[in-house]
């Protein structure tokens, strides 16, 4: 099948949405589809976008900048993309997260819309309502069951017979190579190495990490990720000497760090910001880094949020703690520090769950419309 993927944000970039989109396109290619990505101009320098993300396939990536005209510039870009898609030949499916480009592409092929949050702006919600009325929109993909339920609750069109099918399919990860290098981390060679990978926005629990480091001076804490602005903010905060920042790394270079950690943290708070530190996605979050932790067989300590329980089970593939309860987090780290067998068991179970349910290749089969036309509204 010939598929075009429409993405509104930058490729390459420091943001998780770029990783998600490139992983999905890679998996479409793995499944034998002819995939082309249309994205916006990148915000980081990379000579080879495929090497930066570590993709297995070298699918085409077409970059379209947005003219500096408020709102109108987004429509100009969208129609330029439509013209480019038409000139490229017949298309079997248009898939994407770009509202403007999806609307402009109406009529070229059936549409699938993927969304990771309820749109916060009135104008965006108005565009969604138009998209949901298009006869060519055949499926809406959400990343969590909670988000699917909220869309079905707030958008009557999605509950009506004949409307687009709504399915929830979590984020995923690829299993790493069986062998590979392990990062040499600063700090004490014999100290417990506690890792965090991800952004440093409000709600990501960096304060919890700082408090844990103060409570556990015998362990070293390593944070990988963050924009320059966020790194400057956190590096300027008082902290104990057992906290190490590693900054943003290309996604292809993260595997050695995962291998180096003894256990990993996902301390998401009850309010979680998106890129830029704005908004709140805690109700619907499906963090890719969580799945990457699982893929690497790491013992995970995560926040006990309802949406994370869609994937995590306390004491089975992770330990869960109340987001704000630093004492509970401290106890959990100490418990796993003293029990390497439990760390290994939690990590092995997490990896097994990931390999059976949450690979990018499996996600492709779940997001694509089914040929039998059966409905799975709100299903996982």
pLDDT per position as a tens digit, 104-128? 999 999 999 999 999 988 999 999 9
d(CA 279, CA 266): 19
Find the mean pLDDT for residues 326-336. 98
Q: Is the pLDDT of residue 269 over 60?
A: yes
Burial class, 66, CB count within 10 angstroms (exposed 0-12 / middle 13-18 / buried 19+): middle
pLDDT per position as a tens digit, 145-175? 999 999 999 999 999 988 899 999 999 999 9
The pLDDT score that the predictor gives to residue 203 is 82
Provide the b/e sequence for 141-174 (b: ≥16 CB within 10 Å). Answer: bbbbbbbbebbbeebeebeeeebbbbbbbbbbbb
d(CA 348, CA 299): 8
Picking from 138, 141, 137, the residue whose alpha carbon sits closest to that of residue 169 is 141
Q: Is the pLDDT of residue 379 over 70?
A: no
User: What is residue 66's DSSP assignment?
Assistant: -
Looking at every residue in the chain, the average pLDDT score rounds to: 93
State how far Cα 10 lies from the chain centre: 15
Residue-range domains of the chain with CATH = 2-172+359-367 (3.40.50.2000), 192-357 (3.40.50.2000)
Among 57-66, 263-272, 291-300, which stretch is predicted with the lowest mean pLDDT? 263-272
Q: Is the pLDDT of residue 97 over 50?
A: yes
272 pLDDT tier (thresholds 50, 70, 90):
low
Please say whether the beta carbons of 164 and 135 come within 8 A.
no
Find the mean pLDDT for residues 77-85. 98
Measured from the Cβ of residue 245, the count of other Cβ atoms closer than 10 Å reads 16
Percent of the chain with pLDDT over 70: 95
Q: Is the pLDDT of residue 268 over 80?
A: yes
Please say whether the beta carbons of 49 and 12 come within 8 A.
yes
- What pTM was estimated for this model as a whole? 0.93
The pLDDT score that the predictor gives to residue 373 is 44
The pLDDT score that the predictor gives to residue 110 is 97
The pLDDT score that the predictor gives to residue 280 is 67
178 pLDDT tier (thresholds 50, 70, 90):
confident
User: What is residue 354's DSSP assignment?
Assistant: H
Find the mean pLDDT for residues 114-143. 95
Q: Is the pLDDT of residue 376 over 60?
A: no
Q: Which residues contact 330 (CB under 8 A, 6 or more apart)?
A: 212, 215, 216
Handedness of CA 219, 225, 230, 236 (dihedral sign): positive
Rg (CA), the chain: 21
45 pLDDT tier (thresholds 50, 70, 90):
confident
Residue in the block written with tokens 């998401």: 268
Q: Is the pLDDT of residue 198 over 70?
A: yes
Measured from the Cβ of residue 51, the count of other Cβ atoms closer than 10 Å reads 13
217 pLDDT tier (thresholds 50, 70, 90):
very high
The pLDDT score that the predictor gives to residue 148 is 97
The pLDDT score that the predictor gives to residue 380 is 36
d(CA 343, CA 380): 28
The pLDDT score that the predictor gives to residue 274 is 58
The pLDDT score that the predictor gives to residue 70 is 84
Find the mean pLDDT for residues 91-114. 98
- Residue 84's SS3 state is helix
Q: Is the pLDDT of residue 54 over 60?
A: yes
Q: Is the pLDDT of residue 29 over 50?
A: yes
Q: Is the pLDDT of residue 273 over 80?
A: no
């Amino acid at each position: 099948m010939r598929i075009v993927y429409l993405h509104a944000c930058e490729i390459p970039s420091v943001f998780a949405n770029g990783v998600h989109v490139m992983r999905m396109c890679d998996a479409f290619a793995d499944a034998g589809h002819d995939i082309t990505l249309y994205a916006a101009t990148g915000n980081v320098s990379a000579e080879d976008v495929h090497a930066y993300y570590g993709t297995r396939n070298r699918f085409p990536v077409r970059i379209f900048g947005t003219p500096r005209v408020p709102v109108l510039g987004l429509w100009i870009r969208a129609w330029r993309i439509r013209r480019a898609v038409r000139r490229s030949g017949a298309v079997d499916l248009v898939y994407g997260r770009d509202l403007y480009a999806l609307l402009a592409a109406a009529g070229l092929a059936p549409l699938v819309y993927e969304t990771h949050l309820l749109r916060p702006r009135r104008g965006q919600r108005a565009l969604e309502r138009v998209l949901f009325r298009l006869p060519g929109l055949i499926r809406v993909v959400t990343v969590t069951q909670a988000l699917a339920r909220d869309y079905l609750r707030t958008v009557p069109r999605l509950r009506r017979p004949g409307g687009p099918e709504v399915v929830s399919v979590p984020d995923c990860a690829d299993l790493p190579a069986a062998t590979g290098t392990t990062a040499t981390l600063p700090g004490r060679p014999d100290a417990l190495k506690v890792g965090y990978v991800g952004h440093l926005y409000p709600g990501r629990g960096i304060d919890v990490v700082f408090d844990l480091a103060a409570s556990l001076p015998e362990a070293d804490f390593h944070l990988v990720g963050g924009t320059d602005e966020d790194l400057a903010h956190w590096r300027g905060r008082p902290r104990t000497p057992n906290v190490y920042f590693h900054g943003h790394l290309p996604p292809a270079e993260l595997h050695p760090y995962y291998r180096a950690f003894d256990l990993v943290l996902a301390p998401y708070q009850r309010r979680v910001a998106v890129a830029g530190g704005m908004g709140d996605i805690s109700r619907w979050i499906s963090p890719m880094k969580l799945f990457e932790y699982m893929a690497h067989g790491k013992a995970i300590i995560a926040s006990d949020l309802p949406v994370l329980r869609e994937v995590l089970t306390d004491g089975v593939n992770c330990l869960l703690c109340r987001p704000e309860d630093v004492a509970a987090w401290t106890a959990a780290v100490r418990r796993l520090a003293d029990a390497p067998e439990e760390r290994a068991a939690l990590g092995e179970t997490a990896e097994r769950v990931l390999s059976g349910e949450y690979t990018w290749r499996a996600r492709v089969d779940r997001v694509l419309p089914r040929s039998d036309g059966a409905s799975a509204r709100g299903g996982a």
